[in-house]
Amino acid sequence: MKTLFTWRRALLGLAVAGVIGHGSAVSFGAEDAVIIPPPSLDGTTQAHSETAVFAGGCFWGVQGVFQHVKGVTKAVSGYAGGAANTAQYERVSEGDTGHAESVEVTFDPRQVSYGTLLQIYFSVAHNPTELNRQGPDSGTQYRSALFPGNSEQQRIAQAYIAQLDAAHSFNKPIVTKLETYNGFYPAEEEHQDFLTEHPTYPYIVINDLPKVAQLKQLYPNRYQEKPVLVKAGM
């Protein structure tokens, strides 16, 4: 884990400095999207805005996917599951804080439901059958987890996981855990909008740009070309 963190941190510095160009990568291979049915149970609300927290491996790619979903008004990379005083990238990367790299998604439920966001999360944003890892990253900080913000989200998520498992939508059981929401802590500025700012960064090219392409291919009616960026609102 420490070796992987050191590798990823070193490449991050090179990417920010503009040293790394397209194709200069160590290849791990991207996860393939899985076509799954929408949830049978979904919520209805008259609210104009709602938030939901998703953890599914490195937050760069998860954020990048949700930033391209119509109806999403904000997607922030950060940490959930641990305490405020350990919510820093280097500390979380040690794997013992209880935090998972997560994305807080703010959305208009009149345009996109929580159930639809779950469908995208399970089918495109990450592989929900991988335990404590995604792609080249391993450790509990890369676990598949949902942090429902209310009882309705909890109910919808539980029902959808049961639905997908019963239908054998994946070749292995879903390992995604529903965890108690006890706060979300935004990540450092350098981690916000990372996919958009560093489209030639090797990790992004290999692991995350394919997810955005799969979103566009599988959910064309849900896809928006222009991403909703965090820094645009700063």
Expressed as residue numbers, the domain containing 116 is: 2-18+48-225
Q: What is the pLDDT of residue 7?
A: 43
**Does any domain span residue 233?**
no
Whether 145 contacts 103, CB under 8 Å? no
**Does any domain span residue 27?**
no
Q: Is 58 a catalytic residue?
A: yes
Q: What is the pLDDT of residue 234?
A: 59
Out of 11, 58, 157, 205, which one is annotated catalytic?
58
Q: Which residue, 216, 29, 207, is CA-closest to 199? A: 207
**Does any domain span residue 66?**
yes
Q: What is the pLDDT of residues 168-192, one digit of tens each?
A: 999 999 999 999 999 999 999 999 9
**Does any domain span residue 230?**
no
> Which residue type is seen at 91?
R
**Does any domain span residue 82?**
yes
Whether 169 contacts 153, CB under 8 Å? no
Look up the CATH number of the domain holding residue 214. Answer: 3.30.1060.10
Q: What is the pLDDT of residues 141-159, one digit of tens each?
A: 999 999 999 999 999 999 9
**Does any domain span residue 106?**
yes
Q: What is the mean pLDDT of residues 56-84?
A: 98
Number of domains the chain is built from: 1
pTM of the model: 0.88
**Does any domain span residue 28?**
no
**Does any domain span residue 234?**
no
**Beta carbons within 8 Å of 46's beta carbon, 6+ residues apart:** none
